[in-house]
């Protein structure tokens, strides 16, 4: 295996494991928000913005993993 193939494989592994956690986190955040809205529909206006804020924070971790993958691939 040459160095370019190794870098591509390392990028795939880094990004794959890096987005696994945020993907699970976004699912849990969404499930908790839907459960909270189901229990108290009047609070949907307060729950929804917080849900999107936490989803953005979780997705930022996935973007960091993608950046690390690109750094591994192209350096």
pLDDT tens for each residue of 24-62? 999 999 999 999 999 999 999 999 999 999 999 999 999
d(CA 11, CA 4): 11
pLDDT given at position 56: 95
pLDDT given at position 42: 96
Number of domains within the chain: 1
In CATH, what number is assigned to the domain containing residue 20?
Answer: 1.20.20.10
pLDDT given at position 61: 92
In sequence order, which residues have a C-beta less than 8 Å from that of residue 51 and are 6 or more positions away? 29, 30, 33
Q: How would you class 22 by CB atoms within 10 Å of its CB: exposed for 0-12, middle for 13-18, buried for 19 or more?
A: buried
Q: pTM above 0.95?
A: no
Domain limits at 68?
Answer: 3-74
Which of 23, 28, 27, 47 lies closest to 36, judged by CA?
Answer: 47
Angle formed by the axes of helices 3-39 and 44-74, to 10°? 180
């Amino acid at each position: 295996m040459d160095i370019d193939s190794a870098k591509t494989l390392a990028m795939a592994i880094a990004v794959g494991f890096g987005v696994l956690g945020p993907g699970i986190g976004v699912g849990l955040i969404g499930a908790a928000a839907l459960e909270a809205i189901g229990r108290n529909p009047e609070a949907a206006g307060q729950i929804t913005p917080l849900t999107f804020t936490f989803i953005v924070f979780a997705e930022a971790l996935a973007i960091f993993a993608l950046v690390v993958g690109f750094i591994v691939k192209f350096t």
